[in-house]
Amino acid sequence: DQQVKQNSPSLSVQEGRISILNCDYTNSMFDYFLWYKKYPAEGPTFLISISSIKDKNEDGRFTVFLNKSAKHLSLHIVPSQPGDSAVYFCAATPRETSGSRLTFGEGTQLTVNP
Amino acid sequence: DSGVTQTPKHLITATGQRVTLRCSPRSGDLSVYWYQQSLDQGLQFLIQYYNGEERAKGNILERFSAQQFPDLHSELNLSSLELGDSALYFCASSLGLAGGLKETQYFGPGTRLLVL
């Protein structure tokens, strides 16, 4: 049962253009969402997060949008840079009284071409 | 550099053996999490400790166990190893101030385990 899904295994964009990575979830108990970036042979690196009380959060070139009714979130990277090439994971955590397990999507390999 | 350290970086062992993976959280973090990333499963939550106590459990096999010590470092013990246990094992940590809720988890570089 895949509760967090990233349907695009890969995405290729030109340097300077916008990269849009998508993520869908099924568990309505999820109320905090995060994006991580992962380079080969390294651990996931935190990028940006959003709480379910918001629909948008911005940090520099990265913006995350949350559509609760559609159970969908997206990460926008503008402008995209070659150094952004990595695997991007969407993750979610539920409303729980204790603990904070992250449920991850399968990841999307982003390639930014110079 | 996330501030989370994991040792060893690589581990090669045989089926039936037992190994111990070690994690040191970021300075000041009270919560430690373990995740497994295998080829066909993606990143899966195994277990969380908060200030020495088990806080949450995921899809952790009975052959696996973990603990968090008074100095807050954590160890993940994997026993009776099978070929399918070959994976990347990540440790993450967070402050733990909110009981772990809505906190960012910072990941270590991982331990790559290969069971032959």
Query: Given CB atoms, is B3 within the 8 Å cutoff of chain A?
Result: no
Q: How confident is the model over A3-51, as pLDDT tens digits?
A: 999 999 999 999 999 999 999 999 998 888 999 999 988 899 999 999 8
Q: What is the pLDDT of residue B48?
A: 92
Q: What is the pLDDT of residue B98?
A: 58
Share of chain B above pLDDT 90, in %: 78
- Please check whether residue B76 is in contact with residue B64, taking contact to mean a CB–CB distance below 8 angstroms: yes
B47 to A39, B18, B64: CA distances (angstroms): 24, 18, 10
Within 8 A of B58 by CB-CB distance, chain A residues are 101
Distance CA B80, CA A79 (A): 49
- Structural tokens at position B93: 């940590």
Within 8 A of B105 by CB-CB distance, chain A residues are 34, 46, 100, 102
Q: Which of A102, A104, A106, A108 to mutate to test the interface with B (most CBs of B within 10 A)?
A: A102
For residue B39, the chain A residue with the least C-alpha distance is A106
Strands B111-115, B10-13: pairing is parallel
Q: What is the pLDDT of residue B95?
A: 86
Query: Above 60 in pLDDT, residue B30?
Result: yes
Average pLDDT for B52-79: 95
Query: Given CB atoms, is B10 within the 8 Å cutoff of chain A?
Result: no
Q: How confident is the model over A49-97, as pLDDT tens digits?
A: 998 899 999 999 999 999 999 999 999 999 999 999 999 999 998 866 4
Judge: A104–B105 Cβ closer than 8 Å, yes or no: no
Query: Above 60 in pLDDT, residue B101?
Result: no
Share of chain B above pLDDT 70, in %: 93
Q: What is the pLDDT of residue B63?
A: 97
Q: Which of A98, A100, A103 to mutate to test the interface with B (most CBs of B within 10 A)?
A: A100
Query: Above 80 in pLDDT, residue B41?
Result: no
Average pLDDT, chain B: 92
Distance CA A33, CA B66 (A): 26
Residue of A42, A98, A106 lying closest to B99 (CB–CB): A98
Q: How far apart are the CA of A18 and the nearest CA of chain B, in angstroms?
A: 25
Within 8 A of B109 by CB-CB distance, chain A residues are 41-43
Distance CA B112, CA B115 (A): 10
Q: What is the pLDDT of residue B99?
A: 53
Closest CA to A8 of A98, A90, A81, A95: A90
- How many CB pairs lie under 8 A apart between chains A and B? 76
What does the DSSP assignment read for chain A? Answer: --SEE---SEEEEETTS-EEEEEEE--TTEEEEEEEEE-TTS--EEEEEEETT-SEEEETTEEEEEETTTTEEEEEESS--GGG-EEEEEEEEE--SS----EE---EEEEEE-
Judge: B105–A106 Cβ closer than 8 Å, yes or no: no
Query: Given CB atoms, is A69 within the 8 Å cutoff of chain B?
Result: no
- Please check whether residue A89 is in contact with residue A36, taking contact to mean a CB–CB distance below 8 angstroms: yes
Q: What is the pLDDT of residue A2?
A: 79
